[in-house]
Structures are given as structure tokens and as C-alpha cells.
Structure 1
Amino acid sequence: MKRLLRGVAYAVIPGEVVLVVCLLAGVRLPGPVLAAAEAAALVLLVAEAAVFVRLRRQGHSNRSAVRELVPEPVLRLTGHELKLMWSLVLWVARRRHGVGPDAQAFGHARDQAAMMFGFTFVCAVETVGMSYLLSGWPVVHAIVLVLDVYSGIFFVIGLHAASVTRPHVLTADALRVRQAAHVDVRIPLERIASASYQLLFTHTKEDGVLNLAVCGQTSLTLELSEPVTAVGLLGKERQVRTVRLHADDARALLRALTQARTALSAPPGRPPDRPADRPV
């Protein structure tokens, strides 16, 4: 039943979008076509609601019931958009996500700021230009304006806001590496075999390697004794044993990481050695 509903949704929802665009553009559609489309959408909603209620009665939570009904890529894309919007709120409020009282945060958005703001300016100019060119077609003008403002301005600013408000986070037992709102990997300190400062501007795609480049560069390389799981934007999982990341102050992150690893491995009652600013 769930697979059948998903198949029907894949057919009905795009059809509804096409009908809405046609109606906004002033295209006159036959009455039977509109009636059939609305009937299909209504039946789909009723069926989805019935299955949702049945799943709740079977003991599923609201979240798990929605996951059973909605494909994971759709949920993850929707969640990503919501994270970007929430990052804008955090950025305005000067707050950060996932940084506890006993954690150390290391930003990684400074080197991309000029590029992102420049890209936002270009998108704004393009939006004004398209608005002027399409001023004679009100419906098309409105649709393109909404798409341009959202995807060309708010989306880009949201990406930068997510990078600013979601820094790398170091705690007593793990390093949480992040990139905007789509990468979030927790690495236990005991799995870090070595950490070194290594400035790289070229990254080839390799199995088992996670590159979190900022403006094409990474400055810290972590070699792991055991792999960790990295989840992609659409939910694809892969095991990685090498993580390359960038930080605004990579040497400070390396020193703090070395100190945390030393404290974790030090025998009880013995103070940790003073960390050195060198590969470990």
C-alpha cells in the first residue's frame, strides 16, 4: 500500500504543479481535466491520511509514520531547506547550532564570505534584470521573481548562514565536522589515528575519503583507525577513513584536538602532555 501511494503521489503531485502553472498563465483547461485532477489529489490525501492513522495505531510516532509515507530524499531535501531558513534566524540572533557549554567551536565560513556575498550581489542584479525584461508578462514575471528571490538570494545567503552558525565542534570525546547544513559527521576521538595541518587546493574523489573543502581548500587532514559513516544530502551513506576539512584557524583546531586526544588517552591521575603544533 505504501509503495502504491508513493507511485500515485509521484504522478499526481507533478500533475498538480503543471495545472497550477497553466492556470496562473491564463491557459484555459477543459472542465473534466480539472475535475479529474482535483479528484485524484483528494483521493490521494484521504488515502495518505488513512495510512497515517493506521501506522499511528500500530505504535509509530508521528515522525516515523511520516517517514514511512514520504520518500527519504523528499524528507531530507525539505529538512535541508528548513535548516537553511533556521540558520538565517540563528545568524541574525548571533547564535550557533550544536555548541554546548563545554564544547569548543571552530568556524569555517570566513574564507568563503566574499565569494558568497559576491554571488548574492550577482543574483540580485540578475533578478532585477529579469524583472525588467518580463514586466510585460505579469504571471511569468511573478513566478520568475519568486524563484529568483528564493533560489538566487535567500538560498545563497542561507548556505552562508548555515556555514557560520554550524561550526566544527570539539568536545571531550568527539569532533563534529560540518559543512553548511548538509554534512554533519561525528568522529569519536579514539578513532582519530593522526591529525595534521595540510593545506590542499586539489581534491580527487576517492573511496573512503571525505573532502569538506571551503573555496576549494582544506587545511586539516584526519586519518582514522576505524571508519565513520558520512550521510549525503539525499541520505546515501558511505564509510570514510580519511577526512579533510577546513577551519578559519586550522592550527588552533589542531592544537585543541591534540590536547583533547592526549587527555582522553592519559592514564588516570596523570596530567596530559602539553600539545605541540605539529602532526600527531
Structure 2
Amino acid sequence: MAGHEMRVFASFGMWAARRRHGVPAGASAFPYARGQALMMYAFAFVCAVETFGMWALLRDYPVLHRVTLVLDVYTVVMVLGLHAASVTRPHVVTREALRVRRGAHVDLRIPVERIAEVRRENRFTHTPREGELNLDVGAQTTLTIELAEPVRHMTLLGRPKEISVVRLHAEEPDRLARALDKVRRGRTRPSPALDRPV
């Protein structure tokens, strides 16, 4: 949890500098945060209003006033930090792997050779199932990735899970699907031709 919060706070600096985390040269980044931006800003505004309200209500109780103010300000900062982490940590496609992420708490590397199928699929319901990882934004996923072999995913609390199906949201799902197809074709080399007798 401490590591998660450090990543969230580090995202503020990257957000301000308009930098992205974990996007090496030659890689393609695919953002997903736009679909949640309005909701996150609205939630931060509601938390800020509540902070002001509690500050006014509890000003005659100094100890409780200070504790509540610290907690409320921390909540506003964390809400904005979670959005900053989503903006600065996009999905990434390299020649070797697909890196799927959601904010600072999901970061799963999938080797390209383990990807069996990439399917464009809009889904609005995601019932938790064993072996599936749903990275929805605004309750929506736009791409389904089926794996030939499972990959190990560590949950936020450090529990390992074997993942065979990943559903994720991307702002440009068709472009992400094309990038994955291109990388997969590039790794499937044609068989060498047999030597002809002289």
C-alpha cells in the first residue's frame, strides 16, 4: 500500500511535466484515462466541498477539527493523484510485450508470444471470474485479449493470480489492436527455404 501511494504521488510530477511512465523509445502508448476524467474531477470537487463544510462545522473542536481537515485534504489529493496516475501510465506496446495498466495499482507485462487472440469488444458488465482481469474505465472495456499461456499478476495486496483473459479500455482500441497484430506478425518469421541441389 505504501508503494502504491508513492507511485500515486510521483504521478503528480510526471503529470505536471507532461511525461509518461514506462514508455521507452520506439514503443507505442495507448491512453485510457479520458473516460474517467469528468467523474474524477467531480469526485474531487465533492470532496473539496465536504472539506470546507467539515472545517466550518468542527471549528469549535480544535483536535477533531485538525484531524478531520488533514484526512479530508489527503482524500482530495489522493483522488487527483489516482487520476494523474492513470494519465501518466498508459498501456504500452513494444516489440516484446504488451504492458497493460490501470493507474498506479495494475501493471501487467504480457509477452507477445503468449497472446493468442486480440478481439475488439465493447463490454459494460464484468462479472469477476477466475483467470480474468478486467481493467474497465467507467464500467466499460473495449478490447479482449486471450492468452495461449497464463501470466502471473500480483494484486495490490501482493496476492498472485494466474491470468488467461484480459479485458481493457483504450481510447483508441482499433489502433491498439492493429499495433498488437503488427508486433505479433513481426515475431512470426517465415520458415527458412530448403536448400536446392546444385
Shared fold, TM over 0.5: yes
Matched, 1:124 2:48: yes
Task: Name the % identity.
Answer: 54
Whole-Å Cα distance in 1 between the matches of residues 60 and 17 of structure 2? 40
Helix, strand or coil: the match of 1:254? Answer: helix
Matched, 1:154 2:77: yes
Whole-Å Cα distance in 2 between the matches of residues 137 and 267 of structure 1? 75
Whole-Å Cα distance in 2 between the matches of residues 177 and 106 of structure 1? 9
Whole-Å Cα distance in 1 between the matches of residues 191 and 177 of structure 2? 24
Whole-Å Cα distance in 1 between the matches of residues 190 and 73 of structure 2? 57
When normalised by structure 2's length, the TM-score is 0.95
Whole-Å Cα distance in 1 between the matches of residues 191 and 140 of structure 2? 39
Whole-Å Cα distance in 2 between the matches of residues 196 and 95 of structure 1? 30
**Shift of residue 102, structure 1, vs aligned partner:** 1.3
**Shift of residue 264, structure 1, vs aligned partner:** 1.1
Matched, 1:267 2:197: no
Matched, 1:191 2:83: no
When normalised by structure 1's length, the TM-score is 0.67
**Runs in 1 of length 4+ with deviation above 2 angstroms?**
266-269
Matches within 5 A, 1:70-219: 77-151=1-75, 153-219=76-142
Whole-Å Cα distance in 2 between the matches of residues 112 and 139 of structure 1? 36
Higher strand share: 2
Whole-Å Cα distance in 2 between the matches of residues 144 and 162 of structure 1? 25
Which amino acid letter does the alignment assign opposite residue 186 of structure 1?
R
Unmatched segments (≥5 aa) in structure 1: 1-76, 270-280
Residue of structure 2 in register with 1:256 after alignment:
179
**Shift of residue 268, structure 1, vs aligned partner:** 7.7
**Shift of residue 266, structure 1, vs aligned partner:** 3.0
Which amino acid letter does the alignment assign opposite residue 232 of structure 1?
T
**Shift of residue 243, structure 1, vs aligned partner:** 0.4
Whole-Å Cα distance in 1 between the matches of residues 51 and 171 of structure 2? 32
Helix, strand or coil: the match of 1:101? Answer: coil
Whole-Å Cα distance in 2 between the matches of residues 249 and 268 of structure 1? 34
- For 1:164-186, what per-residue CA distance to the aligned partner results, in whole angstroms no more than 9, with x for missing partners? 00000100010000010011100
- For 1:24-46, what per-residue CA distance to the aligned partner results, in whole angstroms no more than 9, with x for missing partners? xxxxxxxxxxxxxxxxxxxxxxx
The 1:141/1:268 distance shift into structure 2, 3 A limit, reads farther
**Shift of residue 138, structure 1, vs aligned partner:** 1.4
Which structure ranks higher in relative contact order (CA pairs < 8 Å, sequence separation ≥ 6)?
2
Higher helix share: 1
Unmatched segments (≥5 aa) in structure 2: 193-198
Whole-Å Cα distance in 1 between the matches of residues 174 and 62 of structure 2? 54
Whole-Å Cα distance in 2 between the matches of residues 141 and 174 of structure 1? 50
